[in-house]
Amino acid sequence: MRPPVRLGRPAGPSEPHVWRSLRGWELLLVVATLLPAPFILTGDLPPLERYLAAGLVAAIVPVYFLLGRPAILAENRRRGLAYLVVVVALFTPATFIESSTTFALFGLCPQAFIVLRARWAIIVVIALNAGPAVHFLVGATGADSFNFMTVITIVIFFSAVFGVWMERIMEQSEERAALIEELEAQRAEVSRLSAERGALAERERLAGEIHDTLAQGFTSIIMLIQAAEAQSDPARHLRLAVQTARENLAEARALVAALSPAPLNGSTLDEALVRLTGRLGEETGTAAAFTVHGEPRPLPPAVEVVLIRAAQEALANVRKHAAAGRVDVSASYGPETVTLEVRDDGRGFDPTHTGGYGLPGMRARVEQVGGTLRLTSSPGGGTTLEVVLPADRPDQGA
């Protein structure tokens, strides 16, 4: 059963029955059935026959609105068939009384195809044309009979062709509408998944920011306070703890305000790396040095952010795990790349057994801006972290 026809409002792209608006067919039906009435009433027939023929044809209009239209809208084939039977019953005797009523066929034949499938509608069209044909053949001569039958055959043929074509057009429009609805549903699903992916990426980014800034700062504060408790003169460690807490507060404010990393605010990349390296030496007493190779130059903010975060993570790992006696940090500026290297002589570890968020998060950051990360370490052999980034990477969020 086909979906119901929708009337009275413009159809959107997802409404499949825009081709089935009944207004045009209803207008054609009303005109075709009522137009012969004046000619019948002013004709030469006896008054009773005139009124009967005109009344039979005119009655088709209220029958349509009372029975046919509701059947079409509800897609009730049985009720629609009953409507067509009534139409044939009204139209056929009218054609026997007055032949001019055959003009109503222009409005009645399309009704058959609107209500029924094409093969059944053709039968109804034949039934509608049978009355005029029989009436004419009764009193026609041989030549007139042949000509009239030819006309009836042509009418039935073109009605069938037009009806089948119209039905096929509606089926194709329904298929297109169904495809459009499916595409719209898929597009909505893609939008939903994209939004979820964006939210997940943002959560991962914030997790990395918190790990690289606040968590590391709090770790430093704890270590400094613990060191102060173990010494008779805790002033230096407490001073460094206060300094770290202030910098951590700046990091938190920068993170909330979506600013650049606090270590870079108002300074160059090399100056920020010098401060990070010097702070490690002050906190742990480790010999820490920073060197620059090549000609320093401004880098895209995204590249600088990744380098700062990588240095923070590497130095935090040295502070917590390495027990190193010396740490060397270097920045090398090449024609197309910039390389950050953090090397220590600490206890080392097995790079295939790394846990936690730090190193995986660092690697994700580096790969996000098109760089590479290489970690070299072995138990007792120290650790070397090397990050290589394109120096001309367009600016983007880290």
Residue 257: per-residue pLDDT = 47
Distance CA 143, CA 42 (A): 30
Of all helices (H) and strands (E), which one includes residue 19? none
Q: Residues 125-150: pLDDT tens digits?
A: 888 877 777 766 665 555 455 555 56
Q: Among all chains, which residue has been given the structure tokens 């329904």?
A: 174
Distance CA 329, CA 322 (A): 15
- Confidence at 393, pLDDT banded by 50, 70, 90: low
Distance CA 54, CA 36 (A): 8
Give me the chain's average pLDDT, please. Answer: 76
DSSP state of 330: E
Contact 216, 316 (CB under 8 A): yes
Please count the other Cβ atoms lying within 10 Å of the Cβ belonging to residue 209.
Answer: 21
Q: Residues 313-333: pLDDT tens digits?
A: 888 888 888 888 999 999 999
Mean pLDDT of 201-229: 64
Give every CB contact of residue 230 below 8 A, 6+ residues apart in sequence.
none
Angstrom CA distances, 364 to 136, 194, 207, 358, 387, stand at 89, 19, 12, 10, 12
Is the pTM here over 0.85, yes or no?
Answer: no
Please name which of 28, 38, 44, 40 lies closest in space to residue 100, comparing C-alpha atoms.
Answer: 40
- Confidence at 379, pLDDT banded by 50, 70, 90: confident
Greater confidence, 62 or 6? 62
Distance CA 10, CA 332 (A): 66
Give every CB contact of residue 148 below 8 A, 6+ residues apart in sequence.
133, 136, 137, 140
Q: Residues 76-90: pLDDT tens digits?
A: 888 888 988 898 888
